[in-house]
Structure 1
Amino acid sequence: MRISPLKAATRILAAVALAALGTTSLTAATAEAQPAPAAAHHGVKPLVHGAAQQQRASTDTLKVGSSASQGVVSPTPKVYLVFWGSQWSSDPAGVATDMQNLFNGLYGAQDTWGTILDQYCEGVAKGTVTCGSKGIHVNHPGSSPLGGVWFDNSAAAPGSATTAQIAAEAGKAAAHFGNTTQTPNLNAQYVVLSPTGTHPDGFPTSGFCAWHDYTTTSYGKLAYTNLPYIPDSGAGACTTFTDGRPLSGIESTETHEYAETVTDFWPSIGWNGGGGEIGDACVQLDAYVTLSTGTFDLQGLWSNSAGKCVTHG
């Protein structure tokens, strides 16, 4: 997503991101991809509680930022959940099971939220607003988009991971899952989940719930998400719901990041509008949606065809 309009949060986040720039070396014994020096990531979902979510503009038509036929959207999304660090032996809120259940149900006829995405495409003229039958569209998954799950317990995750370390973990995940060329990584998104008690990229004092970006490696460009342990911030963080359910915030946040990765795969050549990416205009809209694997808090998304934020296609 694009940088939040919350100026204070943006300034803090930019400072943390700039401090995190650098390279991560590999030992000769590993075959992991080496990320290039990381640029500042392209935005955040702001960390606020309940009714404090900021109302964005009522009109936020998205336009495609490039005529490229790769890296604009993810036509057949695959999500790889990376539970980073030995600390995942403690998961007080049950995040690991919840995230797997979410993506195991996010497909097919029962998932009407995901059908919002299939109006967006790549391979059309820059500035396009309506794809119609042109271009390569996002395909609504006919089966679970969950490509794999990895508990990387080889070492403890850093207490305060930098952007470069998070990107390096995405590279390790690509190696683990065997995605070692650009082709599979044209649809793979690596969700790097940090364990309870950690502060990836300064969370929560940096003012964000999560962010997504890409890193360039020897395996090609990798799309990845920095997803902190949001329940540590308490019920009501990162969601508009105030019912005290501890998992709502991380579900709302991850669906925000998932949708933005699908429609702006290598930021920011994909779909953006005056308020940012597909989820940025709609942070004030959450809905409980029942899938085959349970009921989840899914954040609303901007629909060009509807001309507003919606929670179903």
Structure 2
Amino acid sequence: MRMSPLRAIAHTTAVLALAAFGTTSLASGAQAQPAPAHHGLKPLAPAAKQLQPAAHSRNTLKVGSGDSQGVVSPNPQVYLVFWGSQWSSDPAGVATDMQNMFKGLYGSQDTWGTILDQYCEGVAKGTVTCGSNGIHVNHPASSPLAGAWFDNTSAAPTNATAAQIAAEAANAAAHFGNTTQTPNLNAQYVIVSPTGTHPDGFPNSGFCAWHDWTSSSYGKLAYTNLPYIPDSGAGACTTFTDGRLLSGIESTETHEYAETVTDFWPSIGWNGGGGEIGDACVQLDAYVTLSTGTFDLQGLWSNSANKCVTHG
């Protein structure tokens, strides 16, 4: 989902802030510049849940480029970055929960992740069905969680700009040793801000999270701005109303994960009239039991099913 004019103004301010912010907070050799727009802006208050959303042809996803790199992430690798010394306080248990969720998103028990397998890169622009053509997203045979880093070298900003979030993604690439483009063709850096902070204006900007890419000394990097959603209370960023505090951040991060996998360097990947793979399905959440627990996974648009689904 592209940002509104108001958010475009805010982003321009963030880009200007990078010039003032400089590269002093970056790891040695890392230089980052945010891309022109953010994507996958999940709303803070999704519409009421619909068990079987109606099919809408306008939501059919089409690939935006015939490129064979940067369109999708064929072998997803997730790097969770718990940003700032404030993670000594984690009242909702977000750090453990996010790690457990990704530790379980693989194999036969993860039928949600198999929705992504139908999408590919290396096919003609405008393709809606890959079939056996192209380079497909591969359903992970083992956990896609490639690493977790508690970056406690300093406090995360109380009001981080988009530029500072992009800079932290470059810091993470350096930390994990992903210092060339090749490993970063599948790596996504999830920048999780600590409780009490407001990255890119959260929650007053009205979004739950967003994903994007940034240029760096290590190539293009895919990353996510994931705020501490439990600060907004139970029911934020999920359609469930059972009072479970972690549902919103689980739903949100699965939304952003799937959109990063299928639109790796936005927006040359898979998009439709309703946006990216998760944008058309924010009204659909489901509790899915994995080997590591039960989590709130957001529904995704399936071209093959012609509707929002929670399993492949």
TM-score, with normalisation over the residues of structure 2?
0.94
CA contact (8 A) 1:50 1:238 kept: no
How many Å apart are 1:19 and its aligned residue? 1.3
How many Å apart are 1:30 and its aligned residue? 4.2
CA contact (8 A) 2:251 2:297 kept: yes
Q: Distance in 2 between matches of 1:160 and 1:171?
A: 19
User: Residue 22 of structure 2 corresponds to which residue in structure 1?
Assistant: 25
1:16 aligned residue (10, 29, 47)? 10
Residue 198 and residue 32 in structure 1: after superposition, are their counterparts in 2 closer, same or farther (change >3 A)? farther
User: Residue 195 of structure 1 corresponds to which residue in structure 2?
Assistant: 194
Structure 2 counterpart of 1:14, one-letter code: A
Q: Distance in 1 between matches of 2:55 and 2:11?
A: 27
CA contact (8 A) 1:121 1:138 kept: yes
CA contact (8 A) 1:57 1:275 kept: no
User: Residue 162 of structure 2 corresponds to which residue in structure 1?
Assistant: 163
CA contact (8 A) 2:34 2:213 kept: no
How many Å apart are 1:50 and its aligned residue? 6.2
State the Cα deviation string for residues 252-301 of structure 1 (Å, max 9, x = none).
00000000000000000000000000000000000000000000000000
Unaligned runs of 5+ in 2: none
- SS of corresponding position for 1:44: strand
Structure 1 counterpart of 2:7, one-letter code: L
Structure 2 counterpart of 1:219, one-letter code: Y
Structure 2 counterpart of 1:13, one-letter code: R
Identity %: 80
Counting only pairs closer than 5 Å after superposition, residues 61-210 of structure 1 correspond to structure 2 as 61-210=60-209
User: Residue 39 of structure 1 corresponds to which residue in structure 2?
Assistant: 36
How many Å apart are 1:18 and its aligned residue? 1.9
CA contact (8 A) 1:45 1:208 kept: yes
CA contact (8 A) 1:12 1:206 kept: no
Q: Distance in 2 between matches of 1:204 and 1:286?
A: 21
State the Cα deviation string for residues 43-91 of structure 1 (Å, max 9, x = none).
41011156289x8973311000000000000000000000000000000
2:56 aligned residue (50, 55, 58)? 58
TM-score, with normalisation over the residues of structure 1?
0.94
- SS of corresponding position for 2:33: coil
Residue 37 and residue 239 in structure 1: after superposition, are their counterparts in 2 closer, same or farther (change >3 A)? closer
Residue 30 and residue 287 in structure 1: after superposition, are their counterparts in 2 closer, same or farther (change >3 A)? closer
4+ aligned runs moved over 4 Å, structure 1: 27-30
Unaligned runs of 5+ in 1: 5-9
How many Å apart are 1:11 and its aligned residue? 4.1
Q: Distance in 2 between matches of 1:122 and 1:306?
A: 20
CA root-mean-square deviation: 1.8
Residue 89 and residue 32 in structure 1: after superposition, are their counterparts in 2 closer, same or farther (change >3 A)? farther
- SS of corresponding position for 1:251: helix
Residue 103 and residue 29 in structure 1: after superposition, are their counterparts in 2 closer, same or farther (change >3 A)? closer
Residue 50 and residue 62 in structure 1: after superposition, are their counterparts in 2 closer, same or farther (change >3 A)? closer
CA contact (8 A) 2:40 2:278 kept: no
Q: Which moved more, 1:27-36 or 1:236-245?
A: 27-36
- SS of corresponding position for 1:266: coil
User: Residue 7 of structure 1 corresponds to which residue in structure 2?
Assistant: none
Residue 57 and residue 28 in structure 1: after superposition, are their counterparts in 2 closer, same or farther (change >3 A)? closer
Instruction: Report the number of matched residues.
Output: 306
